[in-house]
Structure 1
Amino acid sequence: MNGIRKGTLYTIQISEEWTGLTVENILSAKWRLPKKMIHAWRMEKAVLQDGKAADWRRPMKKNERLSFPFFQPGPFGAEPVYPAPAILYEDDHMLVADKPPGMKTHPNSPDEKDTLLNGVCYHVSLAGETLPVRHVHRLDEGTSGAVLFAKHEAAYAVLSRLLEQKEIFRTYYALADGKVAKKSGTITKPIGKDRYHSSRRRISSNGQTAVTHFKRIAVQNGKSLLECRLETGRTHQIRVHLSSIGHPIAGDTLYGGSRAFKRPMLHAAKLTIPHPFVNDCVTISAPAPAEIKMLLHSTFFE
């Protein structure tokens, strides 16, 4: 179901597939927006049908137009601060930014202003927008690659749900120490906090379920390049899981990795997102760092 933006409104034309649905059906069953948001829009008569307040209980006819108040101005998720990051994908509802290593995804205190979210908000502000831009997920400070941001509250609600329900696929490249024996495999070890180290995580029988799928792509100079796909999104998941099988990420000294690099060689390479408002699946790739790109194009493929 594609639509167009005009000002603060997002307007769709009812397709044959959605003929017979009510406004309530679309918001609750199709987009599954939060009840609080739906209730507010109903009370405010904010959803329009051909420019007039919509009848929420009337089944819609094909080609009728509905407008939703998606793009209400609101405070940015962080103070807009120059420079803007590289933007890998953007539309009216979401954007994907390329996070460089050594940068935090978002501020943890008011005085932090050099994070990816600050730069993304600056990018959006250049178009004269003031929208509640928020990160849908995050990457560790040392990890590079694709990060998804929502540009309005409805998008944030839907994208967060899709992530939680494992419908957004995240693919990473990890350069691990040693030769990983298996060409592919799945690590299903629960992860919990390390009681002796506040910033570490560990394998724990009482931890949260964590599932990482991996495929060995190349081996060179005592290192294995792995493609990893997350089924869950626990803190430090790939780092903890690879360390647990004896192949920590190179440069990840927190989890026993070698000092071959100044940061963990982990890269968020690809996001695959079933776009909730465009009726399509969007795949966005982030350019790999030079050290990983070299292996991707090497002759040491397995």
Structure 2
Amino acid sequence: MVSRQSRSLPVPEGFEGQRIDQVVSRMLGLSRTAVADLIADGDVSLDGSAVSTKSARVMSGAWLDVLLPPPPEDLTRAKPEPVEGLDVIHSDDDIVVVDKPVGVAAHPSVGWEGPTVTGGLKAAGHRLSVYGPDEREGIVHRLDVGTSGVMVVAKSERAYSALKRAFKYREVSKRYRAVAQGHLDPLSGTVDAPIGRHPRHDWRFAVMQDGKRSVTHYDTVEVFPGATLLDVGLETGRTHQIRVHFSGLGHPLLGDPLYGSDPVMAEKYGLIRQWLHAYQLSFLHPGRNKEVTFTSEYPDDLGRALKMLRGD
């Protein structure tokens, strides 16, 4: 059995009056879900007394004791496992570009036991960059498990470094197509609203005043009864950014009940996930020093829903 470590430290003044789960999460780098589990198990104490509720407020200077959770399983390398529907669009010595299907994660993570892009590529014989975190071999950006589309993975160290920098400094053009419920006014625009973790649900994000700056540009492509096909460009790359921003506008993505879409409407068009697809990616090739663009067609489920919306 792996022994568990404990941490003992005072609560800094800057955390005065905050919830205990938020404080432990920020001080020790744990998710709030993990902290809630520790509190429920009696593994978090303030001044020698076990904390009984995650909403308890802390006083600066109080002594915090936390019995840390067991270390996660070893995720240092993705297992080479074939991934159905993971198509390679392009491959060379520096990069491999894939068309990621829905239901596939970019890389291994705690709690995810499904297929991954890295595992699928390794099963297909691709050597990925080992520069960076071990579990994220070659990963320079990600698409959510529930989002399909084009994605680039680094194979060489120079590609990893160059692409990480390009994404960080917003030198990569990422284009998405999305179907939002209702009709947007104006037809084209920019959403500049900070995004942070939802205050009550760890697995959701929301427009938050103290969140990170998040900018989404959109243009209307096609209008249907009760829905709109949008072309979307990201200036920033926050988790669930497109879904959060359009939900905040009162136009959640079709098929996205987590962010307020109509489940009846989703069922009507045969959707079991949000209508969102990363269809184009443009960047400076790290080995050839020239601009390259890769595209991805709509997958079958999104294409069928689009035909139904058009009345075809």
Give me the TM-score of the superposition, normalised by structure 1. Answer: 0.68
Identity of aligned residues (%): 38
Output the amino acid matched with 2:78: A
Higher RCO, 1 or 2 (CA under 8 Å, sep at least 6)? 1
Instruction: Measure the CA separation in 2 of the matches of 1:77 and 1:215.
Output: 40
Partner residue, 1:215:
219
User: Does structure 2 conserve the Cα–Cα contact (< 8 Å) formed by 1:76 and 1:131?
Assistant: no
Displacement of 1:159 in angstroms is 0.3
Give the match for residue 242 of structure 2.
238
Unaligned runs of 5+ in 2: 1-74, 131-136
**1:121 alignment counterpart:** 122
Alignment gaps of 5+ in structure 1: 1-74
Mapping of residues 144-163 of structure 1, within 5 Å: 144-163=148-167
Q: Measure, in 1, the Cα distance between the counterparts of 2:258 and 2:207.
A: 14
Aligned to 1:172: 176
CA shift for structure 1 position 297:
8.3
Confirm or deny: 8 A CA contact 1:193 1:202 kept in the other structure.
yes
Distance in structure 1 (CA, Å) of the matches to 2:185 and 2:204: 26
Question: What CA deviation, in whole Å up to 9, does each residue of 1:181-222 have, x standing for no partner?
Answer: 222100000001112001111111111000000000011131
Whether 1:274 aligns to 2:271 is: no
Q: Partner amino acid for 1:142?
A: G
The aligned amino acid for 2:115 is D
Between 289-298 and 87-96, the greater mean CA deviation after superposition: 289-298
Structure 1 SS opposite 2:104: coil
- Asked if 1:97 corresponds to 2:98, the answer is yes
**Hey, what does 2:188 align to over in structure 1?**
184
Q: Give me the whole-angstrom Cα distance separating, in 2, the residues matched to 1:276 and 1:187.
A: 31
Q: Please report how far the alpha carbon of residue 77 of structure 1 lies from its aligned counterpart in structure 2 after TM superposition.
A: 4.7
| Kept after mapping to 1: 8 A contact 2:281/2:294 | yes
* Structure 2 residue aligned with 1:108: 109
Q: Taking structure 1 as reference, are residues 203 and 178 closer, same or farther at Cα in structure 2, changes over 3 Å only?
A: same
Residue identity in the other structure for 2:275: M
Q: Which residue of 2 aligns with 1:283?
A: 293
Name the counterpart of 1:4. Answer: none
State the shift of 1:112 in Å.
Answer: 3.0
Retained in 1: the 8 A contact 2:80–2:119?
A: yes
Please list, as runs of the form range in 1=range in 2, the aligned pairs for 1:2-41 lying within 5 A after superposition.
none
Q: State the 1:257 CA deviation.
A: 1.2
Q: Find out whether 1:79 has 2:79 as its counterpart.
A: yes
The count of residues paired between Structure 1 and Structure 2 equals 223
2:256–2:274 CA contact under 8 A, matched in 1: yes
> C-alpha displacement at 1:98, in angstroms?
0.9
Give the direction of change, closer, same or farther, for the CA distance of 1:111–1:299 in structure 2 (3 Å limit).
closer
Q: Secondary structure at the match of 2:262?
A: coil
Alpha-carbon distance in 2 for matches of 1:130, 1:191: 32
1:88 and 1:77 mapped to 2: Cα distance?
23
Aligned match of 1:227 in 223, 226, 231?
A: 231
Q: 1:83, 1:296 → 2: CA distance? A: 26
Shift of 1:281: 0.4
The 3 A distance-change label for structure 1 pair 112 and 134 is farther
Post-superposition Cα deviations, 1:72-127, rounded to whole Å, max 9, x if no partner, equal: xxx995221124720112111011111111222211139836212210122234xx
User: In 1, Cα distance between the equivalents of 2:173 and 2:97?
Assistant: 14
Query: Is 1:188–1:209's contact at 8 Å kept on the other side of the alignment?
Result: yes
